Amino acid sequence: MIAHTISLSLGESSYPIYVGQQIFSDLTLLLRHIHGKQVFVVTQEKLVPYIALLQAALASYQCDFFYLPDGEQFKTLAQWQKILETLIQNNHERSTTLIAFGGGVVGDITGFAAACYQRGVNYLQIPTTLIAQVDAAIGGKTAVNHPSGKNRIGAFHQPQCVIVDIDLLKTLPEREYVAGLAEVIKYGLIYDTHFFNWLEENRAALLARNTKALLHAVHTSAHIKSQIVSQDERDQDLRNVLNFGHTFGHALEVLGNYQRWLHGEAVAMGMMLATRLSGDLGLLSRQDVTRIVNCLHAYGFASPSVLPPATDILKAMQHDKKVRDGKINFILLTAIGRAEKIATVTKVQLQAVLESDS
């Protein structure tokens, strides 16, 4: 049952985001968006229980599968190249359709392969993790990582549609589920006060994966992301606010070799740091700083007291894409529900936040 259809408006590249339950198994939805005779599914071994369904649905197509190993450390040029080689070996033509069936890593690398195979082919997103459903699968940012930084090589390439089925989240491991909630909380913080209030109040239901609560959280998040992306596809301006917590977060992921923390965990710590920085700079009241940090703790996110040395984090941040002419642009909060890009943050201020104990 499709509960909501969000339209991501981008002129010729506009596409629908279907949000609901039992819609992955509604195969007509899938088939409506495949136009050629070939399909190429990028997925993961752990999703095998669901894959038989896909295989049955796609029986009338030439359908090839590529299994990506699990983990951010496989979002590499080497794996991307293997996908391209497999497409070539199986004679996939320009009219083929790629399907990203998995988490954010699968979505990002599949999208980037679709962007570059024969100068661009169609692809669909069927995200299977919370973080991919509310963030990665929406907006056409595709990429692979480089040892020096996340998403340093990639392209903008919009999918034909995104199918968000919250039933797929039932089997998601607890740690991954909670990590995904970091991005959900982010949308409240940067864009929607009421949603943040709702997230504070409905924490228990959401952590218990209550269907109604989950549907509301996923739909609201996907809707906010779509609103922002449709106003700034290429990340020139407004879309920057989506990076709240990510400048610190990316640096932590690099230092943890993409293995120590899940993306959402790193972003949650990054949001705590960015919130404290917002307070230090007088942009956000001390009361709101405390309220936000408490909310993140209540959802189970750790304090950044386990951080690597401040000098290491500062160095890792130098490689971030958000650096322009040597200055780091920071997304900071001016209220709960409102984020802004601040270009005047000094190294001393950064160091103070990284070294504070609170």
Chain residues that interact with a second copy, rule: CB under 8 A? 36-37, 77, 81, 84, 88, 91, 93-95, 112, 115-120, 141-143, 146, 148-149, 151-156, 234-235, 318-319, 321, 323-325
Task: Give whichever of 51 and 77 is closer to a second copy, judged by the CB atom.
Answer: 77
Task: Give whichever of 4 and 321 is closer to a second copy, judged by the CB atom.
Answer: 321
| Spatial contact of 109 and 69, defined as CB atoms under 8 Å apart | no
Q: Work out how close the CB of 153 gets to a second copy at its nearest, in angstroms, rounded to a whole number.
A: 5
Q: List, in order, residues 6 or more apart from 260 with CB less than 8 Å away.
A: none
- Tell me the C-alpha distance between 66 and 345, whole Å: 44
Task: Give whichever of 119 and 212 is closer to a second copy, judged by the CB atom.
Answer: 119
CA 105 vs CA 16, 52, 69, 292, 342: distances in Å: 21, 21, 10, 28, 29
Q: Work out how close the CB of 97 gets to a second copy at its nearest, in angstroms, rounded to a whole number.
A: 13
Task: Give whichever of 27 and 323 is closer to a second copy, judged by the CB atom.
Answer: 323
Q: Work out how close the CB of 117 gets to a second copy at its nearest, in angstroms, rounded to a whole number.
A: 7
For residue 86, the surrounding DSSP H or E stretch is: helix 77-89
Q: Work out how close the CB of 10 gets to a second copy at its nearest, in angstroms, rounded to a whole number.
A: 13
Q: Work out how close the CB of 289 gets to a second copy at its nearest, in angstroms, rounded to a whole number.
A: 30
Task: Give whichever of 9 and 151 is closer to a second copy, judged by the CB atom.
Answer: 151
Q: List, in order, residues 6 or more apart from 158 with CB less than 8 Å away.
A: 8, 10, 13, 15, 139, 140, 233
Task: Give whichever of 21 and 90 is closer to a second copy, judged by the CB atom.
Answer: 90
- Tell me the C-alpha distance between 242 and 135, whole Å: 9
Cα dihedral sign, 228-230-231-235: positive
Helix (H, G, I), strand (E, B) or coil at 341: strand
Residue 78 tokens read as: 């080497």
- Tell me the C-alpha distance between 271 and 252, whole Å: 12
Q: Work out how close the CB of 89 gets to a second copy at its nearest, in angstroms, rounded to a whole number.
A: 8
Q: Work out how close the CB of 158 gets to a second copy at its nearest, in angstroms, rounded to a whole number.
A: 13
Task: Give whichever of 146 and 209 is closer to a second copy, judged by the CB atom.
Answer: 146
Task: Give whichever of 73 and 193 is closer to a second copy, judged by the CB atom.
Answer: 73
- Tell me the C-alpha distance between 38 and 299, whole Å: 43
Helix (H, G, I), strand (E, B) or coil at 138: coil
Q: List, in order, residues 6 or more apart from 106 with CB less than 8 Å away.
A: 42, 43, 44, 68, 100, 132
Q: Work out how close the CB of 148 gets to a second copy at its nearest, in angstroms, rounded to a whole number.
A: 5
Q: Work out how close the CB of 238 gets to a second copy at its nearest, in angstroms, rounded to a whole number.
A: 16
Task: Give whichever of 145 and 278 is closer to a second copy, judged by the CB atom.
Answer: 145
CA 348 vs CA 8, 46, 187, 227: distances in Å: 40, 45, 29, 35
